[in-house]
Amino acid sequence: MQNNSRPYLGLAFLTGLNLFNYLDRYVLAAVLPQIQKELDLDNFWTGWLPSWFMIGYFLTAPFFGYLGDRAQRKWLIAFGISVWSVGTILSGFCHSYGTLVACRLLVGLGEASYATLAPSWLSDLFPPSRRNNALSIFYTALPVGTALGFVAGGLALKHSTWRNGFLYAGAPGLLLALLLLTLREPARGEADGAESGTAPIDPHAAKPTVGDVLHLFRLPDYMLVTLGYTAYTFALGAFPVWTGKYLNGSHGMPLDQAATNFGLIVIVAGLVSTLAGGLLATAWRKVYGGAYSLLLALSAALAVPLGFGAFLAGTTGGAMVCLSAAMLLLFLGTGPLSTLTLETVPVALRGSAMAVSIFVIHLLGDLWSPGIVGKLADLGGSRDDPAALRHALMILPAMLVVCAGLWAWLAWRQRKVPAIAA
């Protein structure tokens, strides 16, 4: 059966897998205050717990990207799903900081394969005219999975122990890894060829070299997307890690309620905004070539005052409204971000481009941001001083200013011609 006759089956399955990808990642943020208390950690080392995941994630992403442009992607992805699921389950059995770090590294290693290779798979299922909408649907799993991670963690805190949250999150992945192997993998460039009348990339042709991959750093549009994404990731990486403790300390909200409320904010704002952002960007680009990058710049810029408002609000209601509105704006660019990343590079380098992007945004972004916020809070007061944490969190909307500036520059560069690589 030809692959292009059933692209939506692949989209549905890969989106479902992506949901568990983010669920496994964010259940930790929901139960983090309880882990901090049980293991007697200061804010700095608590903030580093999500970062250990990122180390495993970004260090292995380039290897998966390199292999993904050369070998069958579904075997690499199935391996990654199995590894991240085992790492998540084992996290629930940890009784020391060191063992928990090892498990989070394992989760990051496994998720790197999926995050690197699934978008390039989808880009081969859908032609350019439908690719952005497909990727936007794929990334609706980000808010839904993130929210379900918080919900799973909140339910575990309310009804049992934080350890059960990891068991709820990790078990389904093992079955999904087996089901993935039943899908037919598309040829690289298959969808581009179907729309333009050209042939897909010959699987026996010469593979991209290390020099070809390094050339990505000389592509201005690709680098502007990636550097803006880095500042965005710095801010978004620390928001969920510290929001529960902030709402608890500054507004007296119970931890399980804070986790559930933040999860609801993410799932509603993220789902609506991710879909709307993808459709809006596609429609705009028909009349304006830089619509993807313009949407990214505007959404980040408008989220800046709302981010500050979320941490300066004197009432719980005000904080929640600003937080919800900021999330709504920031999720607008979820689909266009990946579309721009893929379309500012040659087809043969899409897997490598996603891998390099993942490496850069995490190495310079959310690897450090939770720990930096924690360290700033420790310097500003005691471990449980709500004012010190609130002041430390101001660095996050400040990074969105940098993000908006870089994407505005990209929008100016792309103001006449759509950024679709040959």
Mind listing the pLDDT tens digit for each residue in 224-248?
999 999 999 999 888 878 888 888 8
Percent of the chain with pLDDT over 70: 92
In 3D space, the residue among 82, 97, 96 whose CA is nearest the CA of residue 24 turns out to be: 82
Contact 154, 263 (CB under 8 A): yes
Asked whether residue 200 carries a pLDDT value surpassing 70, the answer given is: no
Q: Tokens for 407?
A: 């994407």
How do the domains of the chain map onto residue ranges? 3-189+211-413
DSSP 3-state percent helix, strand, coil across the chain (nearest 5): 80, 0, 20
Residue range 311-339: average pLDDT?
88
In 3D space, the residue among 136, 137, 208 whose CA is nearest the CA of residue 353 turns out to be: 208
Asked whether residue 417 carries a pLDDT value surpassing 60, the answer given is: no
97's CB contacts (< 8 A; 6+ apart) are 39, 41, 45
- Rounded Cα distance, 15 and 330, in Å: 20
- pLDDT value, residue 4: 43
CA distances from 43 to 99, 380, 381 (A): 19, 11, 11
Q: How confident is the model at residue 7 (pLDDT cuts 50, 70, 90)?
A: confident
CA distances from 1 to 14, 65, 184, 187 (A): 19, 27, 9, 13
- Rounded Cα distance, 160 and 176, in Å: 26
pTM: 0.70
Burial class for 286, CB neighbours closer than 10 Å (0-12, 13-18, 19+): exposed
User: What average pLDDT does the structure give for the chain?
Assistant: 82
Assigned CATH class of 3-189+211-413: mainly alpha
Residue range 325-342: average pLDDT?
86
Contact 414, 221 (CB under 8 A): yes
